[in-house]
Amino acid sequence: MKLCNLNTSADIFWTSSRSTIGGIDDEFTRYFYESLTARGYNVVGDPKKIFDRQEELTRARYLVAADIKDIKTNICRLYDFWSGDSLGTENGEVWMKVQWTVYSPLEKKTLLQVTTTGYQKSVEERADGYTSLLFESFASAAEELSTDKDFFDLVSGRRVKASLTMQKSVGDEMSIPAVEQYITPFAEDPTRVTDSTVTIRTAYGHGSGLIVTDDGYIITNQHVVGQSKDVSVVFSNGFELSGTVIKVHPTRDVALVKAAVKSAKPFPIRRTGVKVMETVFPVGTPLELELRATITRGVVSAIREDKDTGLHFIQTDADIQPGNSGGPLVDVNGNVIGVCVSGYGERSIGINQFIPIREALSALNINMVDK
């Protein structure tokens, strides 16, 4: 048996201050470099290089600075139950908010500021637990920066067609409480995902949806609800009630539906990005209403970008069929990472697309807040 944070009940006094963590050799630089190069960005100044790095840095078209605005941590330092001795290991979670500034050395001015958040949680005991979680949370914030459309458009020099450039979000801003993420495989309890997945019925057919709040807010595709203002929502146990379409974002193909329920089971939404070759599971109602709560399995094949709109898609070989649209894509623990949107051909051929959940939330002007 192990104890957490033994003899740490003393008062904590907080004082505000400002410090700078910089230099091309520090760990933050390495995590930034690895996060953006993994997304296909041409980042100069490889921290692994020992010589000639300064010359390489002079070729940079843009300089990026990271200002960590806020950090929240929940760290458990472990002690032996009998002796009270420190085991030298830690686990826990770290969240941070980072403001990124993109500067042009040529124009000698700031061109863009973007704020992202990063989150990392680990139940594994590690000797450098807090430090690793801190850097991994920073890497998560950098990954979110890499998917920001304004950042991509600036550094790539691309211009989205004016006719397809839509506002990033629709409707009034709303906040939903963050649901604590699952940390064990949902194979132990499949109802963890099926109870949070619904079928959306309209006069023209059906699709799927995912519950995001316990009072009945549901995300689905815009093409599932179409022009309907009212839909039927069928839960995994067959219980059916009416739902109202609150708002839609046609370009991102997402919609928000509200069902009159007070005890729904919302999905946890994963805060970290998805990785190629990660095992994933679509959940939904393919083909027939009787097939609700169907789970299939596959791996992430790629992260794609539409060349006309700049929108991102998760590509996976997991099987989906008509009726899966709007349903969740979850990781091995049952946390939502995407929303089913389309496939190639009339039937699944192993090339299917999902909207990253964070882009779906952004399009619908939904923010997650910690309880």
Q: 10-residue block means of pLDDT along the chain (371 residues)?
A: 57 50 63 84 72 57 88 80 67 89 77 91 78 88 90 68 53 90 94 95 91 95 90 92 93 92 93 91 94 94 79 91 94 96 72 93 91 71
Measured in residues, the chain has a length of 371
pLDDT confidence of residue 119:
92
pLDDT confidence of residue 266:
95
Query: Is 2-159 in CATH node 3.30.160?
Result: yes
Q: Enumerate the active-site residues.
A: 223, 253, 325
pLDDT confidence of residue 170:
82
| Distance of alpha carbon 187 from alpha carbon 298, whole angstroms | 15
Q: Per-domain residue ranges for the chain?
A: 2-159, 174-369
Cβ contact 54:40 at 8 Å: no
| Distance of alpha carbon 346 from alpha carbon 286, whole angstroms | 13
| Distance of alpha carbon 151 from alpha carbon 83, whole angstroms | 52
DSSP symbol at 226: T
| Distance of alpha carbon 90 from alpha carbon 79, whole angstroms | 10
Angle in degrees, CA 142, 145, 151, rounded to 5: 140
- 22 CB-near residues (< 8 Å, 6+ apart): 28
3-state SS, residue 184: coil
Beta strands 217-220 and 230-234, pairing class: unpaired
Q: How many CB atoms lie within 10 A of CB 57?
A: 12
DSSP string computed for 345-358? SSS--S-EEEEEHH
Q: Which two tokens stand for residue 319?
A: 């099987």
What does CATH list as the number for 174-369? 2.40.10.120
| Distance of alpha carbon 284 from alpha carbon 218, whole angstroms | 13
pLDDT confidence of residue 49:
64
Q: Which two tokens stand for residue 22?
A: 């910089």
- In tens, the pLDDT along 35-76 reads 888 877 878 776 666 555 555 565 577 889 999 999 888 878
Report phi then psi at 16, rounded to 5: -80, 145
| Distance of alpha carbon 227 from alpha carbon 248, whole angstroms | 10
| Distance of alpha carbon 321 from alpha carbon 346, whole angstroms | 8
Cβ contact 2:81 at 8 Å: yes
Q: How far is CA 118 from the centre of its chain?
A: 10
Give the chain's end-to-end CA distance (angstroms, integer).
Answer: 30
Helix axes 27-38, 129-146, angle to 10 degrees: 40
pLDDT confidence of residue 355:
95
Q: How many CB atoms lie within 10 A of CB 330?
A: 27
